[in-house]
Amino acid sequence: MRISIFGLGYVGAVCAGCLSARGHDVIGVDISANKIDLINNGKSPIVEPGLEELLQQGLRQGRLRGTTDVAAAVLESDVSFICVGTPSKKNGDLELNYIEGVCREIGMAMRDKNERHTVVVRSTVLPGTAKNVVLPILEDCSGKKAGVDFGLAVNPEFLRESTAIKDYDFPPMTVIGELDKASGDLLASIYEELDAPIIRKDIEVAEMIKYTCNVWHAAKVTFANEIGNIAKAVGVDGREVMDVVCQDHKLNLSKYYMKPGFAFGGSCLPKDVRALNYRAGSLDVEAPLIGSLMRSNAAQVQKAFDIIASHDSRKVALLGLSFKAGTDDLRESPQVELAEMLIGKGFDLSIYDRNVEYARVHGANKEYIESKIPHVSSLLNSDLDDVVAKADIIVLGNSDERFAKLAEQAPSGKRVIDLVGFMPHASNGVAEGICW
C-alpha cells in the first residue's frame, strides 16, 4: 500500500521503517528539512536500536523517501498517518496546534485528489479530538464529506522507546477506531500479517483506550514507588514486596512497570496524565488518584535529591540523563529535573549518557539540548571512567547495562545511589537504593 507519514519523530520514524520493511511504499513528511535529509541519507533522526538498518533497507528497495511537500505526499499515497506531537499546555490540556496545522495541509491537498484518501490519527489525542477537531478541519479544507468522500480513523500506537521495533512487530493488540467500515478495513489490511488481535471500535473508544493504557502505566510506576518508600521506612526491601505482587498474573499486571524505582518521564506518561486529569476536572468528575500522580512523581525526584543531599560530599556523578536507557529522549526526563536541582543547590555535577552525547552532535534532539537545557548538557562527559573517578557520589540514573557493575560493587571510597534497581541487596554502608 502507498502510505504517507506526517511527523518523523519517534512514532513516525519507527512506523516509516517498519512499514517499508513490510513491503509498503512509504513517504515520510516533516517540516524539518534536517529530518528529511537524515531519512533520505539512511540516517535515523532518533536513537532507536535497529531503526537505521530498516530505514536504509527501505531506501535500497525504493520503498521509502522523505519530503517536505505535503501535497505531493497526499496525492501519491492512499492513506496518511498523522504522527505529529501533542505536547501539554500549561494547564495540562493538550496542545493541538500541530494536529490542526497538518490537518489543514492534508485537507487542502485532498481537494485536488479524485481518489478516496484515508486519514489516520496515530498521535495520542483525547477522546473527541478526531471528530471535533480533525474531522471538521479536513471537511472544511477539502470540501469533502468524511466517511463518504474520504476515510477517517484513529490507530493508537503502543510503542515503547528503545524497544519500539519489537513492539511494532509483536504488539499485544492492534486497536482501530473507525469512522466508517471502509476506513477500518483499510487499516486492518495493513496489520493483518501481525500475530496480534485486531480490535475495531468507535473512534472515541480507541482514543480512550490509548489514554487508559498510558495512565495505567503511570499509575503502576507511582504505586510501586509509594509502596517501596513505605517498605523502606519500616525496614523492608520494597522489591521483595512487589516481586510477590507481580506473581499474580491473573489480573494481567505487567512486571515491566511494577518495580519500585525512580520517577516516570518521557514524552507520553506525564503529558497524558495531565491531559486526562484536566478532562476529568472540566467534567466535574472526581479522580483523586490521577490528580495525585504528578505530585507523587515530583516527590520521587525530591526523594532522590534528598538522599544525595543527606551526604557530606558535593561531587556527584549522574549516570544516565535520558528518562530510560536506549533512548536520547530528554522530554520531561526526571533525570534532567534532578540534575537541575543539583545544579541549583551548588553541587559539583558531572553527567554521562552515551545516547544523549550522540544526540548532542547528530540527533533530532540536538536543538532541544542546545536551546532548552544548555546548562545541563554542558556538564556531559563522554568518558564514563573519568566521570566516576572524579565523583564521590555516583547516581545510577537509568538502566544502561554498563552501570550494573557499579551497583554490585561500589568503587573504593565512593557512595552509590541506585535509582534503577541494579543492587542485588538492600541499602548498606556504601550503596543505597531509592526504595530499598
Residue in 276, 132, 303 with CA at minimum distance from that of residue 203: 132
Q: Beta strand 415-418 with 393-396: parallel, antiparallel or unpaired?
A: parallel
Largest Cα–Cα separation, the chain:
73
Binding-site entries for NAD(+): 10-11, 30, 35, 86, 124, 271, 331
Distances (CA, A) of 242 to 109, 328, 408: 53, 29, 21
Grid cell 544516565 in the structure block, residue: 320
- Amino acid letter for position 414: K
Binding residues: 10-11, 30, 35, 86, 124, 161, 210, 214, 217, 225, 256-257, 262, 265, 271, 324, 331
Dihedral of alpha carbons 318, 321, 327, 332, sign: positive
Q: Which residues contact 220 (CB under 8 A, 6 or more apart)?
A: 253, 254, 257, 258
Assess whether 246 carries a catalytic annotation.
no
Q: Which of 15, 103, 213, 268 is the catalytic position?
A: 268
Between the two ends of the chain, the Cα-to-Cα distance in Å is 51
Closest of 238, 271, 277, 275 to residue 427, by C-alpha = 238
33: cell is 528539512
Q: Which amino acid is at 34?
A: N
Beta strands 25-29; 64-67: pairing state: parallel
Number of helices (H) and strands (E) in the chain: give both, helices first.
19, 13
**Is the Cβ–Cβ distance between 316 and 349 less than 8 Å?**
yes
Q: Which residues are annotated as a binding site for GDP-alpha-D-mannuronate?
A: 161, 210, 214, 217, 225, 256-257, 262, 265, 324
Cell 553527567 locates to: 351
Question: Residues with catalytic annotation?
Answer: 268
